[in-house]
Structure 1
Amino acid sequence: MTLIGGFVAQRTGDRRHLVLGFAAGLMLGVVAFDLLPEAMEQAPEKLHGVPEALLMFAAGFLLIHVVERAVAIHRGHEGEYAAHSHAHGHTHGPGHRHREQGVGLAAASALVLHSVMDGFAIGAAFQAGATVGAVVAVAVVAHDFADGFNTYTLTRLYGNNRRRALALLAADAAAPIAGAAITLLFTIPEHLLGLYLGFFAGFLMYLATSDILPEAHSPHPSRTTLVCTLLGVGFMWLVIGLT
């Protein structure tokens, strides 16, 4: 299912803005309906009145924002809507491009790690019972399409070549198997897993709202792109509700 999602993402051609809009909707849906509720359930303890999972959510959002600003690679598109000029003209060299590609690789790698956790959830659920394991497995398979779609889209969005995108897609497809195998060796503390999910949710939220949505609307600011975003959110709502 992960590979199918990646295949659909790479076959979009000149409908890239629609793909990005849909991907942003999927990511927002994953954050709101999947990651944050699970993080809150597994790490509900509060620190100075705020659940630790939500503190990690804010930390994940702010960390990627700081990293992007620090290496000056934020993909702003204000120049696409109005005249925009810099006081000192300059061009971005290979170093800038490599740093930008690094953000894409980091984002896709985080999705791969998330897929490892999905596999871990399957293995842990089967330890609790075959019925529970089957339900969790169906849930993971259902949203692995979105994982594959986002892994390929994010890698390519930040300037990485097709080979890298396919390599990360393959890693994302294999990751749940590795995660399930991990459960044969040891278990990750529930609280620690909740903190990670909160952090990862903040990471995805930043990419969806600050990078992908502006990128989707800059070349083709249209209602169709907005509809695709709403469809992405609705799709994840349907998947989470059914599973």
Structure 2
Amino acid sequence: MNLFWIILLSSLISLIGTMLGASIGTFVKNPSKRFISSIMAFAGGLMLSVVVFDLIPEAVEHAGFCYSLIFYLVGMAIIYLIEKATSGNDAYSKMAFVTALGLMIHNFPEGVIMGCSILASKNLGIKMSIIIALHDVPEGLAVTVPLIASNKRLGKIFLYVFITALPTAFGAALGVLIGNVSELFLGICLSLASGIMLYVVFGELLPKSNDLYSGIGNTISVLFGVTIGLILVNLM
């Protein structure tokens, strides 16, 4: 099997994870506010865990503390400005958009890492793509639930989720083409994604979750999300 087919297969495997998450999200018809609230809280906990225990340490390792801090703040500023520019839109559509943006920026360096793994060993590349696919299941869910809440059509939901997953494939191709990616470049991408995703967690997912339903169930969902995130980080 040549390199092109390995890249294609790895990208498809990782895409399956995101689309599976979307499928789980669309499986529940007419979800209650409590259900949507719990899923948002879970997604918030998951993203918080991945950012704090995976993305930020990786960013600091690749780019150093100063660059990581600068681009972490730049990521927050970017998403803040985008949120203000889209403030007139439906709240759930806006939440889905900013969540998807953060995940797209996060997925690109993931793809680059997968591409470099393919170069190092084809078996390692396939293994990494499977791990990334498992990691991407709740990401697909996190984008889907706000879109369901805003009454988007099923076809549009899957299209948006598919677009969110595309940077993984582009990153994988780039990782294979250039072979050895700049450590600083990877660190900057991860820092931007960290800032955006933390803003999404504390500025969108958790507040909206609490608005929909306030109770101990939300706290449990957040903690469950953090726990699943820790498991995924350990697998990666």
Shared fold per TM-score greater than 0.5: yes
Q: Any unmatched runs of 5+ in structure 2?
A: 1-16
| Aligned-pair CA distance for 1:205 | 0.5
Task: Report the CA distance shift for 1:206/1:174 in structure 2 as closer, same or farther (over 3 A).
Answer: closer
Paired residues for 1:1-243 under 5 Å? 1-12=17-28, 13-14=31-32, 15-44=35-64, 51-68=66-83, 70-71=84-85, 73=87, 96-97=88-89, 101=93, 104-130=96-122, 132-155=124-147, 159=150, 161-162=152-153, 163-186=155-178, 188-243=181-236
User: Between Structure 1 and Structure 2, which shows a larger proportion of helix residues?
Assistant: 2
- SS of the equivalent of 1:126 reads helix
Could you tell me how far 1:38 is from its partner in structure 2? Answer: 1.4
Aligned residues: 214
Q: Percent identity?
A: 24
* CA root-mean-square deviation: 2.6
Partner of 2:14: none
3-state SS of paired residue (2:178):
coil
- In structure 2, relative to structure 1, the CA distance for the partners of 1:66 and 1:181 (3 Å cut) is closer
TM-score, normalization: structure 1? Answer: 0.76
Give, in whole Å, the separation in 2 of the partners of 1:173 and 1:59.
Answer: 23
CA offsets, 1:17-72, max 9 Å, x none? 1111111111111211221121111101x5xxxx211221122223323443x448
2:152 maps to amino acid:
N
- Flag structure 1 segments of 5+ consecutive residues without an equivalent: 74-95
Provide the rounded CA distance (Å) in 2 between the counterparts of 1:109 and 1:165: 15
Per-residue CA deviation, residues 110-159 of structure 1 (Å, 9 max, x unaligned), is: 423432332221111121234543553343122011221223235556x4
SS at match of 1:185: helix
- C-alpha distance in structure 2 between counterparts of 1:179 and 1:36, whole Å: 19
